């Protein structure tokens, strides 16, 4: 895949796959093209940009398809870094979370309201019946991020893309969000996870494989445990300098859920 923006290739020839239920981290320094890769996968690139190559979710080529036109089997959910921008502060949390259940699942309003409360409870939000009546501005950063994860899960996507979801959180909230991401993915019947970060600690906790990019290009990929043992690129070594724990490789499956090809 390539992404062209402002007459320049800001992502150039990037290729990787995610298998069903697999968790893969996309690592790289600021400005390396991580977020643009996420937006390309989700169909959220800014006006004036273009995508080359292929992006397939469950075998469906979505590379030039806007998010709103994708079929249900090619849905992807997004967990943004900036929760204040991701959530609308002018309407209640419940109103925002209700929409996917009404539109994607054809539920009645009452059914959708029950589903929202149940989903917030799964996100370990205390008193979800009260939280649904609040605006996002009334919630803490950790609560807002858990609401964003609930919003990503509401449509039952094949893939969740989490773009630096813990950067703005305190240590306890970071731990909670990583635990929820771990619980919501990584097993049969759950979405695959593309975890985008420059934090090798969080990546090692969640992911089996790593894709490392710099300046819009792939510089290293493979089992995260192997990269931790013998990093082959300067940026990998810099990330690992701060690492205090490892992560074991996971079981690999066939038939990728998400495939990005250059």
Structure tokens at 1: 């895949």
Place of tokens 């501005």: 137
List pLDDT tens digits, range 196-254. 987 778 888 899 899 999 889 999 999 988 988 888 888 778 777 755 444 433 333 34
Query: How would you label 1-10 residue by residue, b for 16+ Cβ within 10 Å and e otherwise?
Result: bbbbeeeeeb
Instruction: Please list, residue by residue across 44-74, b when 16 or more beta carbons sit within 10 angstroms of its beta carbon and e when fewer do.
Output: ebeeeeebbbebbbbeeebbebeeeebeeeb
Instruction: Check whether 186 has a pLDDT greater than 60.
Output: yes
| Range name among 133-142, 159-168, 240-249 with the lowest pLDDT average | 240-249
Mean pLDDT of 14-41: 91
Rounded distance, CA 17 to CA 55, Å? Answer: 10
Residues near 4 by beta carbon (within 8 Å), at least 6 away in sequence: 10, 49, 50, 51, 52
d(Cα 157, Cα 191) in Å, to the nearest integer? 6
At 140 the pLDDT is 92
pLDDT at 243: 54
Question: What is the Cα–Cα distance from 216 to 212, expressed in whole angstroms?
Answer: 10
Phi-psi domain of 201 (left: phi exceeds 0; alpha: psi -120 through 50; beta: other): alpha
Residues paired with 236 in a beta bridge? none
Q: How far apart are CA 237 and CA 225, in angstroms?
A: 13
């Amino acid at each position: 895949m390539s992404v062209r923006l402002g007459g320049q290739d800001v992502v150039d020839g990037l290729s990787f796959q995610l298998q069903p239920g697999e968790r893969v981290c996309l690592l790289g320094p600021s400005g390396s093209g991580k977020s643009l890769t996420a937006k390309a996968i989700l169909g959220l690139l800014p006006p004036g940009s273009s995508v080359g190559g292929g992006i397939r979710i469950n075998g469906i080529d979505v590379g030039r398809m806007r998010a709103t036109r994708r079929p249900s089997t090619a849905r992807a959910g997004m967990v943004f870094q900036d929760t204040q921008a991701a959530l609308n502060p002018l309407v209640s949390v419940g109103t925002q979370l209700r929409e996917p259940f009404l539109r994607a699942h054809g539920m009645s309003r009452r059914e959708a309201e029950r589903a929202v409360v149940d989903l917030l409870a799964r996100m370990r939000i205390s008193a979800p019946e009260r939280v649904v009546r609040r605006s996002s501005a009334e919630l803490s950063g950790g609560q807002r991020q858990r609401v964003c994860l609930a919003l990503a899960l509401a449509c039952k996507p094949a893939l969740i893309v989490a773009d630096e979801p813990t950067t703005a959180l305190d240590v306890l909230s970071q731990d909670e969000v990583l635990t929820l991401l771990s619980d919501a993915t990584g097993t049969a019947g759950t979405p695959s996870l593309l975890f985008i970060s420059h934090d090798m600690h969080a990546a090692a906790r969640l992911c089996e494989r790593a894709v490392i990019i710099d300046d819009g290009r792939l510089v290293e990929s493979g089992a995260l445990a192997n990269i931790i043992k013998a990093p082959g690129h300067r940026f990998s070594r810099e990330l690992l300098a701060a690492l205090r724990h490892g992560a074991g490789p996971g079981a690999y499956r066939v038939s990728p859920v998400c495939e990005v090809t250059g």
